[in-house]
């Protein structure tokens, strides 16, 4: 049997559509809410969907997905596969069937994903950046940065590795993929539409906070599995330290003793942007998309660096709190 776990926090504007799309699976559905203040719980209950309400502290997508999976296993122990869906996404009606077929065909496959599409990619540059972010090749996934939270998973495999890491405030989906691969499982992307996503970002501030969150995730992923056989986030972690902290720090600290010559180091950023843009064009992106991705890619180095520093602080204090970039109505906060 296949079932669905839908998670959300302040997604009442999207939740009805998300829950309705999950019904296309034809199996049990549970909604897990992370302390919403916008009526999401009431909306889910009004739709007749069993609802779990999580309270602080320790809110995270990982905790929500684990809670939903535990509920399904308790109430529907015959559940073999589960679709995880975020409350701001709409599941494609054929995806669950296609994913289940892929899982049935290969017992080593633990997770199946498909093509994720941004709802309105032409609306803002931030939506277009998300559309580019979701674009990846089909086949076996080895770069687990390409694994997001929308997926169809084999229940036995997920539970065998301990589920999602509830201590992660972001990047828990990618980290799960790493642990599954280390345990001998496979994660694959099939050539099928999976879901429609709405990032809700309409301002640079919201984009920046999301990039800070991504930096926190890559630092935590590296600390957990960076020295494993997969070397998760090793390249991204050290690239962030180099470009986001090392180069600007060296340029400023050495400016006085070098009579300003150290500022030449900052020329590395336009050169890096040029290289990123040309690689994007070579990969088939339109020039405006490649240029935008490169420009925001440079800015992301600094935002990611802030996230890395936040991770170090949180690791020392042992206090991890979600980094929110959306407002109380499920839209990105300004």
DSSP 219-255: HHHHHHHTTSTT-TTHHHHHHHIIIIIIHHHHHHHTT
Kindly give the confidence (pLDDT) of every residue in the chain, 334 residues in length, as a single tens digit, with 9 standing for 90 and above: 999 999 999 999 999 999 999 999 999 999 999 999 999 999 999 999 999 999 998 899 999 999 999 999 999 999 999 999 999 999 999 999 999 999 999 999 999 999 999 998 989 999 999 999 999 999 999 999 999 999 999 999 999 999 999 999 999 999 999 999 999 999 999 999 999 999 889 999 999 999 999 999 999 999 999 999 999 999 999 999 999 999 999 999 999 999 999 999 999 999 999 999 999 999 999 999 999 999 999 999 999 999 999 999 999 988 888 888 765 544 443 3
pLDDT at residue number 205:
95
Quote the pLDDT of residue 332: 40
DSSP 310-328: HHHHHHHHT-------B-T
Burial of 150 (0-12, 13-18, 19+ CB in 10 A): buried
Which CATH code of 3.90.550.10, 3.40.50.80, 3.40.640.10, 3.40.605.10 fits the domain covering 2-202? Answer: 3.90.550.10
Nearest to 177 by CA among 207, 138, 150: 150
Partnered with residue 91 across adjacent β-strands are 195
Cβ-in-10-Å burial (0-12, 13-18, 19+) of 99 comes to: buried
Question: Looking at the chain, which runs of residues are DSSP E strands?
Answer: 2-8, 29-34, 51-54, 81-86, 89-91, 109-118, 139-140, 151-154, 186-197
- pLDDT for 320 equals 83
DSSP label at residue 332: B
Rg (CA), the chain: 20
Domain-by-domain residue ranges, the chain?
2-202, 218-317
SS (HEC) of 97-127 = HHHHHHHHHCCCEEEEEEEEEECCCCCCHHH
User: 199: Cβ–Cβ under 8 A, 6 or more apart, which residues?
Assistant: 88, 118, 126, 127, 130, 210, 332
Please, are residues 323 and 310 in contact by the beta-carbon 8 Å criterion? yes
pLDDT for res 326: 66
């Amino acid at each position: 049997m296949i079932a669905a776990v839908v998670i959300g926090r302040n997604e009442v504007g999207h939740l009805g559509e998300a829950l309705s799309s999950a019904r296309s699976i034809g199996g049990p559905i549970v909604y897990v809410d992370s302390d919403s203040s916008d009526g999401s719980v009431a909306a889910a209950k009004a739709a007749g969907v069993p609802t779990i309400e999580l309270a602080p502290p320790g809110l995270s997508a990982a905790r929500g997905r684990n809670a939903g999976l535990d509920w399904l296993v308790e109430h529907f122990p015959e559940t073999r596969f589960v679709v995880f869906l975020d409350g701001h996404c709409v599941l494609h009606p054929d995806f669950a069937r296609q994913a289940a077929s892929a899982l049935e065909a290969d017992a080593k496959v633990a997770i199946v994903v498909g093509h994720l599409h941004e709802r309105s990619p032409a609306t803002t540059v931030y939506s277009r950046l998300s559309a580019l972010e979701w674009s990846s090749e089909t086949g076996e996934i080895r770069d687990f940065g390409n694994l997001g939270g929308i997926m169809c998973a084999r229940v036995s495999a997920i539970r065998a590795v301990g589920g999602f890491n509830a201590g992660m405030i972001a990047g828990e989906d990618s980290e799960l993929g790493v642990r599954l691969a280390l345990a001998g499982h496979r994660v694959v992307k099939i050539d099928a539409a999976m879901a429609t996503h709405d990032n809700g970002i309409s301002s640079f501030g919201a984009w920046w906070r999301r990039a800070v969150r991504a930096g926190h995730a890559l630092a935590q992923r590296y600390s957990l599995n960076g020295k494993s056989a997969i070397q998760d986030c090793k390249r991204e972690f050290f690239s962030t330290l180099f470009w986001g902290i090392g180069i600007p720090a060296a340029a400023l600290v050495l400016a006085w003793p070098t009579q300003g010559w150290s500022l030449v180091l900052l020329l590395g950023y336009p050169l890096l942007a040029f290289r990123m843009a040309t690689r994007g064009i070579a990969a088939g992106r339109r020039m405006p998309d490649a240029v935008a991705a490169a420009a925001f890619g440079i800015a992301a180095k600094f935002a990611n660096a802030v996230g890395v520093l936040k991770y170090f602080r949180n690791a020392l204090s042992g206090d991890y709190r979600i980094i929110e970039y959306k407002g109380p109505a499920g839209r990105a906060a300004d």
